[in-house]
Amino acid sequence: MESMEDFKSNDTVQSTRSDDSSDEEFMSKMGITNLVPSFVRDMCTKPQNIELRVCYDAPTHQSTYTYSITWEDDSEGKEKKILEEIKKTSYGKNSFGKGVSDETDCILKSSKSSFKLIFPSKNEIIGVKLIILETMQFDGSQHLSRNVAELEFQSTTKIKKAISALLFQKFNKFPPPGLLYHVELQPNMKRKILRIRSKEYDSMALFDFSQIAEYIVFLMDFGGFVKDGSEINYS
């Protein structure tokens, strides 16, 4: 007597594919999006794989179904997996009664990547990078000049002291007033700049600012390039 039978529906579907056909053409022809349940269709716009597993127990006439979907999430550029399990028990019909079926609730599980900013501790040596933007005269017109200064500081150092030391790496005397920004990493790995007001120079320490890799990154703008929307390399 047979005991268990295991069936993968995607194995049967894949057998209809030719080796040369692309995954995109195959999914379009087979209408893979039609296999996505309506309650997750808004999220699952680009399904990559859909699998139905059926396990049948011959002696008890019970069958278990497992349905899984894998798709790519456009908002984060990473894969998000959702597993939908439907367990259904079926009893075969016989002369003594009708078949009975029990169906459990769907179980949805999703995996989502987490993003956290990294801050230095209050008693460590941390590298600090200052991007300096200036106006440079060239061929009778003004252009953006970009320089970078780097030093290491105790993380408890106030930003006024740290920025002053970095500026004196380039300037022999204190430069004209400029606008100071902190460069912050975003979940999509792009950079965002946040203005630091002059009243915060004496109150905020380096450990108050997040770091990118091994550096805390600041930007000093002496030419109003940020306000003008100039293209700036924040690395």
* Residue-level pLDDT at 39: 60
Q: What is the dihedral of CA 225, 159, 203, 175, to 10 degrees?
A: -60
Q: What is the dihedral of CA 123, 218, 116, 158, to 10 degrees?
A: 30
Average pLDDT over residues 172-201: 90
d(C-alpha 56, C-alpha 151), whole Å: 67
Q: Write down the pTM of the prediction.
A: 0.51
41-79 pLDDT, tens per residue? 666 677 777 777 777 777 777 777 676 777 666 544 444
> Per mean pLDDT, which range of 168-177, 191-200, 219-228 is the poorest?
168-177
User: What domains can be seen in the chain, in order of their start residue?
Assistant: 4-110 (no CATH), 125-228 (2.40.240)
Average pLDDT over residues 86-112: 46
Look up residue 81 and give its two tokens. Answer: 């997996």
Query: How many other C-beta atoms lie within 10 A of the C-beta of residue 66?
Result: 14
Look up residue 179 and give its two tokens. Answer: 């606008």
d(C-alpha 151, C-alpha 180), whole Å: 17
* Residue-level pLDDT at 210: 95
* Residue-level pLDDT at 179: 94
Average pLDDT over residues 127-150: 87
User: Would you place residue 24 in the very low, low, confident or very high pLDDT band (cuts 50, 70, 90)?
Assistant: low
Question: CB–CB of 131/146 below 8 Å?
Answer: yes
Percent of the chain beyond pLDDT 90? 32
CA distances, 16 to each of 21, 26, 29 (Å): 10, 9, 11
Reduced to 3 states (helix: H, G, I; strand: E, B; else coil), residue 133 is strand
Q: Residue 159 class from Cβ within 10 Å (0-12 exposed, 13-18 middle, 19+ buried)?
A: buried
